[in-house]
Structure 1
Amino acid sequence: MTLLLNPPSLKDGWRPLAAEGRRWPGRVLTGAGLALLPWTAVLAATLPPGQAAAWAALDLLEAAALLSAGRRLLRGAPGHRRPAAAAALLLLADAAVDLATAAPGAELATAVAMALAAELPLAAVCGALALRPERPAAR
């Protein structure tokens, strides 16, 4: 079932990115968005209520942006730039707040590891996708 009511047509100059072998960014973003869903449930179940609500909201916004951009890239549909930009900003904010609020010791080490291994590289991919043109430039 598709939620896209007015899909672009090939006659309008729209070309699927998937046809050009660019499916990996869509897979990465979609996988990351799906991976955030169980992580959000863990945070909601283990953190104090006030913190759980804030972190769950941030992670759900990240997941929505990642899934939106990833789905568009996988389908070869235009419109990946805005959700990719939103995901990049949310991931950067997540990493910054994690690092700023982590207690010294194991909690800080975990925050640094998450920032370096997941949040910042994914933010860089999203930022690059946000800057990439929707369609290849005509020559």
Structure 2
Amino acid sequence: MALVTPQFPARPQGGTTARRTAAKPLGSDRRTRRLATVFTGAGPALLPWMVVLARTVPQSAQVSNWSTAWIGLDAALAAGLTATGLLLRKGDPRVSPVAAATAAPLTMGAWFDVTTSAGTSGQGAAPALAVGAELPLAVACAAVAARRTA
């Protein structure tokens, strides 16, 4: 049950220092609604840009600092997975955003590993690592994030 229910420190009850304030529903203020509109419009706005990219980006490219980019991503994944594990072990409610932030690059890493390995010596290993490690870890992180926020 510790995985499902975060442990929050008890708040002092009673007395003149304890105040109860009703939380505003998310999206109730004008600024939040405006930001939601921007996000909602930005998604579909990317569709024409994706068509432009599909028609103009070359199928192959010579890339500088390729190993640095991948090592940086893996270092971020190592930090995210470690932090998620440590916070989960402590029952810390901060595990939710850390787990969510770790799930996203795990999924992205699997996608780029598989799509960039075609025609290389890693063509067989990339899908195996994606299906056997990266995607299951991403799902586990997403599950931790979802349980902790509810």
Shorter-chain TM-score category? Answer: 0.5 to 0.7
Partner residue of 2:93? Answer: 78
Percent identity over paired residues: 36
Could you list the runs of 4 or more consecutive aligned residues of structure 1 that deviate by over 4 angstroms after TM superposition?
none
Instruction: Please identify the structure whose Cα radius of gyration is greater.
Output: 2
The answer on whether the counterparts of 2:93 and 2:148 sit within 8 Å (CA) in structure 1 is no
In the superposition, the TM-score normalised over structure 1's length comes to 0.60
Runs of at least 5 residues in structure 1 that lack an aligned partner in the other structure: 1-7, 14-47
Deviation at 1:58, TM superposition (A): 0.3
Distance 1:105 1:93 in 2: 19
Distance 1:69 1:59 in 2: 15
Return the match for 2:108 from 81, 88, 93.
Answer: 93
In the superposition, the TM-score normalised over structure 2's length comes to 0.56
Distance 1:130 1:55, change over 3 A: same
Partner residue of 1:10? Answer: 9
CA RMSD of aligned residues (A): 2.4
Runs of at least 5 residues in structure 2 that lack an aligned partner in the other structure: 1-6, 13-62
Q: Which has the higher contact order (CA 8 A, sep 6+)?
A: 2
1:62 aligns with 2:61: no
Distance 1:9 1:118 in 2: 32
- Cα deviations across residues 54-95 of structure 1 (Å, max 9, x unaligned)? 001101111111111111111122210111011110100000
- How many pairs were matched up? 94
